[in-house]
Structure 1
């Protein structure tokens, strides 16, 4: 038992370190930018920071969605223990993405938020995805899981809608490079399609019994 707990602790530390590293990297770039190194993030450093944090929000979201398929395909149960941490990192990077946009592209001009959301539909979808992450983050603890009981699973299925919103949010920003947004959308559809197929199989066997 003690060895198992130690194994969980070591994995948790490794996963946390791996997912925290991108934040440490971009923070170092921002510090370098403040110190006068204006070339480190390219000609548009603000936009680079926004894109970086957005991609890592999506990366962690896909990792979270991949936990169940990995269990089904490879028989690995240990990622389930760390799914909550993955989900909280989604919220962490999504919030950084939002704050980066507000700071570097809007320059904290609060009066422009409304017009931006109306004129740019991809911002509306991204903001909606972030709002939907809030209740999932708040209710991610075991205490909330006990309080909500069966409703907890229903609530946390909102993650599928969030994934679709994020994929469309990314696709709507395509200017010239189709590859990255299309790849993210494809992976999202694969992960969601796997869940849909699994649900149908389970439903078939339940009706057959």
Structure 2
């Protein structure tokens, strides 16, 4: 019962950014043009990307939090939070195609050349796809030890997300650097553990 309530609570809380964005878009359609700023399409792309990174960080922080706080129940909810990272990353990619690229597919190659952070971001999203597909217990049983190896890709995905963010710096360094530092702090214990002899990564 407690587990079910926790899952429902996490699910609903994870949807808050989506519903906030949804009501902002509805208000924008109703004529409240300033709700998403002067460039609403760009703001939607940024908003969804930020929340994709937020959930990616939450996914990565669960294991060390579980060890530090001695709360094993946290690990049960890692899959749902990881799925929300993919959900917001997919919205981010869709928003880019819709509002910035405007579905002009012939322009995509030119965009990637001029803005290499797009290639980095798309690579991160593509790597999230197999992790999302194989996130179920059934796939965990089928892949066995390889499942854990595959899902360690999330560390590399996190680094790609940080590079994707850093390459977009135009004026303020604060948020991209902050997210990168937080990511490195989360990954540092895993890296140190993998360097120790006779330990598993």
TM class by shorter-chain length?
Answer: over 0.9
Question: Aligned match of 2:50 in 43, 55, 66?
Answer: 55
Distance in 2, matches of 1:114 and 1:11, equals 44
Describe the SS at the equivalent of 2:103: coil
More off after superposition, 170-179 vs 110-119: 110-119
Tell me the equivalent position of 1:141. 136
Distance in 2, matches of 1:61 and 1:117, equals 24
Query: Taking structure 1 as reference, are residues 134 and 205 closer, same or farther at Cα in structure 2, changes over 3 Å only?
Result: closer
Q: Which structure 1 segments of 5+ residues have no match?
A: 1-5
Per-residue Cα deviation, 1:75-128 (whole angstroms, up to 9, x for no partner): 121111011101110110000000011111111111111111122111100000
TM-score (norm. length: structure 1): 0.93
Cα pair 2:41 2:100 within 8 Å, conserved: yes
Describe the SS at the equivalent of 1:159: helix
Tell me the equivalent position of 1:107. 102
Number of equivalenced pairs: 200
Query: Taking structure 1 as reference, are residues 38 and 205 closer, same or farther at Cα in structure 2, changes over 3 Å only?
Result: closer
TM-score (norm. length: structure 2): 0.96
- Counting only pairs closer than 5 Å after superposition, residues 1-209 of structure 1 correspond to structure 2 as 6-201=1-196, 203-204=197-198
Distance in 2, matches of 1:155 and 1:177, equals 35
Cα pair 2:57 2:183 within 8 Å, conserved: yes
Distance in 1, matches of 2:110 and 2:125, equals 18
Tell me the C-alpha RMSD between the 2 structures. 1.2
Q: Tell me the CA shift for residue 74 of structure 1.
A: 1.4
Distance in 1, matches of 2:8 and 2:189, equals 29
Cα pair 2:48 2:89 within 8 Å, conserved: yes
Q: Which structure 2 segments of 5+ residues have no match?
A: none
Q: Tell me the CA shift for residue 33 of structure 1.
A: 1.0
**Structure 1 stretches (4+) deviating beyond 3 angstroms?**
203-206
Structure with bigger gyration radius = 1
